[in-house]
């Protein structure tokens, strides 16, 4: 019914998270309707992030240079490290305004059923980074899901062994159980950070 290039665009859009077939169609027709300039700006933005954005060599957050902007910021407290699953989890924590430390992005959560074992995450890098480098506290801010909780417990155990002097804390309850951090509002998240407890 539709020209092959239009079908291709709909197929690509429908692969995006949260975008069903119907929405993909609506977006594709929107792209066809707008000016070349407007449509190609989207294509260019996608190309640019893929070509320029990599991982921070210290914390594995997104970075354009070797180190992300948070690791480059001298005012951030290097003695405090907040562990999150994904780069997107940094955003709500920053927005809460309650965190002045640094981050460590794991790249996911432990899930043996899905084949995600400790060696697939940046856990070894965390242990290396934390042991004997002046870090006093690690806040484990993995999601309040089964895999997020399992990951938090694993990290707490590993840190107790490798870096017994480091306090390991977990966000206080109040976060919706089973929910991803990126959907938490900043007030709830700020409260959870302030009330973090020993793990």
Among 9, 59, 83, 140, contact with Zn ion (rule: CB under 5 A): 59
Please report whether residue 58 would count as binding Zn ion according to CB under 5 A: yes
Torsion angles phi and psi, residue 81, rounded to 5? -125, 130
Given 10, 28, 56, 168, the residue binding Zn ion (CB under 5 A): 56
From the list 65-73, 139-147, 157-165, 171-179, the region that binds Zn ion by CB under 5 A is 65-73
Ranges within 71-110 binding Zn ion (CB under 5 A):
71
Shortest distance in whole angstroms from residue 6 CB to Zn ion: 41
Contact between 171 and Zn ion by CB under 5 A: the answer reads: no
Q: Does 144 bind Zn ion (CB under 5 A)?
A: no
Contact 62, 68 (CB under 8 A): yes
Residue with tokens 């976060």: 175
Judged on CB neighbours under 10 Å (0-12, 13-18, 19+), 183 is exposed
Q: If DSSP codes are grouped into helix, strand and coil, which group holds residue 62? A: strand
**Least distance in angstroms from the C-beta of 81 to Zn ion:** 10
Q: Note whether 61 binds Zn ion by CB under 5 A.
A: yes
Q: Does 68 bind Zn ion (CB under 5 A)?
A: yes
- Kindly indicate which of the ranges 5-13, 49-57, 117-125, 161-169 contains the residues binding Zn ion, using the contact rule CB under 5 A: 49-57
Distance CA 132, CA 29 (A): 56
Residues 6 or more apart whose Cβ sits within 8 Å of residue 80? 99, 100, 101, 102, 135, 136, 137, 138, 139
Residues in the chain: 199
- Residues at the site binding Zn ion, with contacts judged by CB under 5 A: 56, 58-59, 61, 68, 71
């Amino acid at each position: 019914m539709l020209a092959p290039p239009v079908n291709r665009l709909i197929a690509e859009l429908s692969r995006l998270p949260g975008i069903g077939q119907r929405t993909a169609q609506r977006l594709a027709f929107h792209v066809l309707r707008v000016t070349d300039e407007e449509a190609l700006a989207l294509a260019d933005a996608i190309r640019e992030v893929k070509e320029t954005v990599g991982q921070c060599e210290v914390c594995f957050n997104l970075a354009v240079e070797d180190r992300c902007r948070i690791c480059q910021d001298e005012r951030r407290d290097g003695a405090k490290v907040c562990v999150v699953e994904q780069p997107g989890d940094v955003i709500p924590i920053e927005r809460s305004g309650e965190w002045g430390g640094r981050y460590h992005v794991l790249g996911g959560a432990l899930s043996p059923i899905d084949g995600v074992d400790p060696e697939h995450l940046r856990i070894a890098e965390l242990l290396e980074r934390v042991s004997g480098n002046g870090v006093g506290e690690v806040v484990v801010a993995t999601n309040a899901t089964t895999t997020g909780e399992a990951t938090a417990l694993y990290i707490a155990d590993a840190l107790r062994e490798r870096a017994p002097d480091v306090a390991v804390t977990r966000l206080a309850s109040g976060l919706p159980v089973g929910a991803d951090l990126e959907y938490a509002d900043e007030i709830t998240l700020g409260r959870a950070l302030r009330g973090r407890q020993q793990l």
